[in-house]
Amino acid sequence: MADDFELDETMDGADDGEGPAADALAELAAVEEAEAADLDRLEAELSEARVALETERAAMVEAVSRYRAAVLASAPGVPADLVQGATLDEVDASLEAAKRTVAAIRSQVASELGKAEGFPVGSPARDDGDLDGLSASEKIAYGLQLHVRG
């Protein structure tokens, strides 16, 4: 306890700018200055990292866009609206889903066309005019009919 009293006396006499209290204040000021410098440096590094991140994001968006265009060029039967995604994996998954959708639609259309009833598509077959069984006068009459109609 006697030492505590002496310490208090030395601190009371430290108002002249010298002694342990002044040293402690100077040391705290130096630490504060160093921390402020570190904070400024870290904020600058963070700002640079954010700029680099934005640059990389823009590059990734461009790369995904080019990849999507290449994928669509290699799959001309797939509608572009069905292939979306922000990453390469998302574009691949979207492409596979689009291919399944197109295949399902094609098979449905093909099955519906196979079930079509009614008249055949297109104009009826022309009479090729098999004249082998006709006599000469019948052939002449047939030719005149075609000429009058046609």
What would the pLDDT profile of 61-108 be if each residue is shown by its tens digit? 999 999 999 999 999 999 999 999 999 999 999 999 999 999 999 999
Distance, CA of 41 to CA of 60 (rounded, Å)? 28
Total structural domains within the chain: 1
**139 within some domain:** no
- Give the residue numbers spanning the domain of 107: 23-115
pLDDT of residue 49: 97
Residues 29-50: tens digit of each pLDDT: 999 999 999 999 999 999 999 9
Helices (H), 75-87: none
Q: Does residue 128 sit within a domain?
A: no
User: Within 10 Å of residue 1's Cβ, how many Cβ atoms?
Assistant: 4
Q: Is residue 93 part of a domain?
A: yes
* Share above pLDDT 90 across residues of the chain, in percent, rounded to a whole number: 53
* pLDDT reported for residue 118: 61
Let me know if residue 37 belongs to a domain: yes
Residue 76, domain member (yes or no): yes
Residue 45 lies in a domain: yes
The percent of residues in the chain predicted with pLDDT above 70, rounded, is 78
